[in-house]
Structure 1
Amino acid sequence: MKPKRQIEVSKQVREMLVKEFNTTSVSVWRALSFRDNSPKSKRIRCAAYQNRGVLLMLTPAMETIHDADNFMRQYFPNGVLIEANKNNSHVDLLKNGEVVKSWDKVYLSDLDGIQQEAVKLCGTHVIL
């Protein structure tokens, strides 16, 4: 699943874009949600950016929990989990409850590489 892009603007800016480009609110929505890539849609997006538009990347949720048992668990889509024991620096990468790979003596600087492996394993696009 590829992340979806969307430009967020205020109601006033959307109304201004409709008037400025002599179009409909649906056309502005299609342009700001990247559902249309016509030259006019590109101009609408450019005008949105110039009026404080903010680009959002809509991706599957990823959650990190630091438990009282001194574990960090990072949940990814499709049953992928990173489980880190903060007492002994051991990290497991799991898919559907089964350990796929393990690391001992993990440093914080190693976590990015482990997260990238988790992203590949979950088979969907996730932005960390």
Structure 2
Amino acid sequence: MSLITIWSMEIQRYFELENISHNNSIWKICTKIINKNENKMTGTAKKREIVVSKENREFLKRLFGCTEQTLYNSLDLQKPSSEMRKRIRKAALERGGEVMVTLREMETIHTANGVMEQRLPNGAELRFYREDGHGEIWHKGIMKERVDSVTIPVIYEMQARAAMMR
């Protein structure tokens, strides 16, 4: 288990013990920092961007009088928003641009016997069983971890741990 994941679980426990709402701004800041660092460590980061055709890219550059680099940075939704970037993004979406998310490839199979299997590029495999709600992480044919009472946030944590296996 990574240090970031442990830190995340400790912060979550503290917030639950202190009865602090998940809507609290401190909670949001902590989880944003944790997720950003976890994504960097595990390589599970996703890229969000607005994709437009070549003709629309040229149109946007002429419309806003900007360079290719400025346009590229504006269409990258991971970059902070400025007034210029907001205007470029709005125009790109109005001209048929689409928000795309690029993620690390992961094959997911749902079998008839109630098992969901996910295979990661590094050879790790996750198995989630609907019957009793537990999940397992396998790597190179060996079960590395078993988790009871799996929830959606736990699935994300298990995916991050499995992605770090070598």
> TM-score normalised by the shorter chain: which range applies?
0.5 to 0.7
Q: Alignment partner for residue 54 of structure 2, among 3, 11, 31?
A: 11
* 1:43 pairs with 2:87: yes
* Alignment partners' CA distance in 2, 1:121 and 1:66: 17
Aligned to 1:101: 147
* Alignment partners' CA distance in 1, 2:153 and 2:138: 14
Aligned to 1:83: 127
TM-score normalised by structure 2 residue count? 0.52
Query: Is the alpha carbon distance of 1:79 and 1:119 closer, same or farther for their aligned partners in structure 2, counting shifts above 3 Å?
Result: farther
Please list, as runs of the form range in 1=range in 2, the aligned pairs for 1:59-70 lying within 5 A after superposition.
59-65=103-109
Partner-residue secondary structure (3-state), 1:61: coil
Whichever residue aligns with residue 123 of structure 1, its letter is A
* Alignment partners' CA distance in 2, 1:79 and 1:101: 19
* Alignment partners' CA distance in 2, 1:15 and 1:91: 52
- How many residues align? The count is 114
Whether the aligned pair in 2 keeps the contact of 1:61 and 1:76 (CA below 8 Å) is yes
Query: Is the alpha carbon distance of 1:36 and 1:118 closer, same or farther for their aligned partners in structure 2, counting shifts above 3 Å?
Result: closer
* 1:56 pairs with 2:100: yes
Over the aligned positions, Cα root-mean-square deviation in angstroms equals 3.3
* 1:69-113 alpha-carbon deviations (Å, 9 max, x no partner): x97521358776332579x8886421543132257xxxxxxxxx5
- Unaligned runs of 5+ residues in structure 1 are 104-112
Query: Is the alpha carbon distance of 1:46 and 1:40 closer, same or farther for their aligned partners in structure 2, counting shifts above 3 Å?
Result: same
Whichever residue aligns with residue 121 of structure 1, its letter is M
Deviation at 1:66, TM superposition (A): 6.2
Which structure would you say has the larger RCO, counting Cα contacts within 8 Å and 6 or more residues apart?
Answer: 1
Aligned to 2:63: 20
Whichever residue aligns with residue 48 of structure 1, its letter is A
TM-score normalised by structure 1 residue count? 0.65
Whether the aligned pair in 1 keeps the contact of 2:52 and 2:96 (CA below 8 Å) is yes
Query: Is the alpha carbon distance of 1:2 and 1:22 closer, same or farther for their aligned partners in structure 2, counting shifts above 3 Å?
Result: same
Query: Is the alpha carbon distance of 1:90 and 1:18 closer, same or farther for their aligned partners in structure 2, counting shifts above 3 Å?
Result: closer
Q: Which protein has the bigger helix share?
A: 2
